[in-house]
C-alpha cells in the first residue's frame, strides 16, 4: 500500500485495511469485506475466474469492487472477464476505473 493511501486512511481513522497479495484463497472469512481495490491486476492473473470467485466470497452482500483496466481494452477484454462469471454488476465507470457491486 502506498504512503499516500496509508496517510489517507490514518487521517480518516480507517483502521480495518489489509493488503493481500494473492490471486486466490485470501484466508478471509466469507462476506467479511466492504470494499476490494483490484488495481492493475486482472491482466497478470492466469485464472481470473477463480480470483473473481474469491473476491465474491469475501465481499459482503452490499460490498463494492473497484477495478482498473490499465493494460486491457476496457470495453472488450476487461468487461469479458467480469461478464463470464456473472458475480458482479457494473455500477459506474470513470475512465479506466470501474465500480462493481456483488450480485
Res 76: pLDDT: 72
Taking residues 74-80, report their average pLDDT.
73
Q: Residue 39 in contact with residue 66, Cβ under 8 Å? A: yes
Q: Would you place residue 75 in the very low, low, confident or very high pLDDT band (cuts 50, 70, 90)? A: low
- Look at the pTM and tell me if it is higher than 0.85: no
Per the structure block, which three cell numbers stand in for 99?
Answer: 465500480
Domains, the chain, in order of start with CATH, read: 33-103 (3.40.50.150)
Per residue in 8-43, pLDDT tens?
778 878 777 777 776 678 889 999 998 898 887 777
Per the structure block, which three cell numbers stand in for 77?
Answer: 477484454
Res 74: pLDDT: 60
Amino acid at each position: 500500500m502506498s504512503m499516500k493511501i496509508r496517510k489517507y486512511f490514518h487521517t480518516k481513522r480507517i483502521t480495518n485495511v489489509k493488503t493481500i497479495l494473492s490471486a486466490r484463497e485470501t484466508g478471509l472469512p466469507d462476506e467479511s469485506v466492504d470494499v476490494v481495490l483490484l488495481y492493475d491486476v486482472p491482466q497478470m492473473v492466469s485464472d481470473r475466474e477463480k480470483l473473481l470467485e474469491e473476491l465474491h466470497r469475501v465481499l459482503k452482500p452490499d460490498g463494492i469492487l473497484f477495478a482498473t483496466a490499465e493494460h486491457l481494452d476496457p470495453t472488450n477484454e476487461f468487461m469479458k472477464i467480469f461478464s463470464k462469471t456473472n458475480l458482479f454488476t457494473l455500477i459506474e465507470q470513470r475512465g479506466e476505473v470501474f465500480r462493481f457491486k456483488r450480485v
